[in-house]
Amino acid sequence: MRNLVIFLFLVSFAACSKKENNKIDVSNIDIETKVIRFDQKFYTTLPEKLADLKAEFPYLFPQANPDSVWVNKMKNKDELELFAETEKIYSDFTEETKQLTELFKHIKYYYPKFKEPKVITLLSNVDYDSKVVLADSLLFISLDVFLGTDSPIYQTHPNYIKQNNNKEYLIVAVAEQFAEQIIPPTNDKSFVSKIVQEGKKLALIQAFLPNVTKQVIIGYTVGQYNWAEKSEAEIWKYFIEKEYLYSSDHQLTKRFIEDAPFSKFFLEVDKDSPGRIGAWFGWQIVDSYLNHYETGIRETMVTDNEEIFKNSKYKPKKQ
């Protein structure tokens, strides 16, 4: 009887520990999130006050550009319209500041030496490559990339790109920048190592943002995420039969890991599939590894990708 009680206690303790790993208490972590609305300052500043703005933000005004460049930007009709559209969504940044604070608290929980950066919002003329930039102690967020999927600004943009041009995805894009700087790069060029590398990133983002749904974290619609779950066993079988896992063919990255309107199996299912399905599988592998070992998310990020795959005991779920 005594052994049974001990066993039940250990099972209960293990269950609680796992739950705590998913939803951690960060209420006692002290974070001061400072947000500077450079976009508002720039587009509401009179040209004769440009010198004051340059003195406050010297790193945003390359010396090679004469003042006339900045004055023209301040007066440019298209840029002023873009700013007006941005203000419709982000005139009040209170909710986003709360989300950033929660994110920073979770990063600090896992990485105690973390120091929250100064956040600067700006407009980049919808530059997807620079939507979020982390540079030392500064975090730049291009708000004009997150105006909403149906914004007229993105009218001519591909659907697979603009489906994540929304407020919901902003905090994920920020978390992704931190995850990319934390996870060590790998020299292993095999397909399975590449998808595990992507899986690490998604798992770390999930740890940093425990209240964000999985489909938002990977940038899928609900329908796309459901398709991935439903097709898991069939796709994994396809990867095995094609002997892709240990292939170093760089085309596999383009077909299954990079952003794309769909994944490229060269089959009828292509039209229904979401892009980046390889990253989704890498996430399942990393999650399986975390469920079988007590190493924790921080240790897993520095574990060799091949070791994670071999010890993950990953098996696709059959629907």
Does residue 317 or residue 233 have the better pLDDT? Answer: 233
Tell me the average pLDDT across 215-229. 97
Q: What is the 3 state secondary structure string of the chain?
A: CHHHHHHHHHHHHHHHHHHHHHCCCCCCCCCCCCEEEHHHHHHHCCHHHHHHHHHHCHHHCCCCCCHHHHHHHHHCHHHHHHHHHHHHHHCCCHHHHHHHHHHHHHHHHHCCCCCCCEEEEECCCCCHHHCEEEECCEEEEEHHHCCCCCCHHHCCCCHHHHCCCCHHHHHHHHHHHHHHHHCCCCCCCCHHHHHHHHHHHHHHHHHHCCCCCHHHHHCCCHHHHHHHHHCHHHHHHHHHHCCCCCCCCCHHHHHHCCCCCCCCCCCHHHHHCCCCHHHHHHHHHHHHHHHHCCCHHHHHHCCCHHHHHHHCCCCCCCC
pLDDT digit string (tens) for 99-157? 999 999 999 999 999 999 999 999 999 999 899 999 989 999 999 999 999 999 999 99
pLDDT digit string (tens) for 50-107? 999 999 999 999 999 999 999 999 999 999 999 999 999 999 999 999 999 999 999 9
pLDDT digit string (tens) for 257-310? 999 999 999 999 999 999 999 999 999 999 999 999 878 999 999 999 999 999
Tell me the average pLDDT across 248-258. 97
